[in-house]
Amino acid sequence: MGTGTITKYSASAGSGKTFELTARYLQKLFTSQGQAYKRILAVTFTNKAAAEMKYKIIYHLFRISKGEETSMLMRLVKDTGL
């Protein structure tokens, strides 16, 4: 297995950590080749935060699949160039 990159985010409550983690996850998802998405690991401090991030990932994927323009879609277009 190849080497990867570890990125750590540390910030106070309400600062947008979940949005940032969701955006970074989706960026990796859309720019990875093949099944590389299976090697993405996102870790949060609590089960509640993990559930929130999972919900937001699915929510944004659903909205993008429906062709809706969202702030997350605009962020992904800007960051990935896709």
Domain positions in the chain are 19-80
pLDDT tens, position by position, 14-53 = 777 788 888 888 888 888 777 777 777 777 778 888 898 8
Task: Work out the pLDDT band at 2, boundaries 50, 70, 90.
Answer: low
Residue with tokens 């990125």, as numbered in its chain: 7
Of the candidates 40, 16, 15, the one whose C-alpha atom is nearest the C-alpha of residue 30 is 40
Q: What is the mean pLDDT of residues 52-56?
A: 90
Of the candidates 50, 47, 62, 59, the one whose C-alpha atom is nearest the C-alpha of residue 21 is 50
What are the contacts of 51-56 at 24+ separation with CB within 8 A? 52/18, 53/18, 53/21, 53/22, 53/25, 56/18, 56/19, 56/22
CA pair distance 6, 61, nearest whole angstrom: 24
Q: What is the mean pLDDT of residues 59-64?
A: 92
Is 59 within 8 Å of 25 (Cβ atoms)?
no
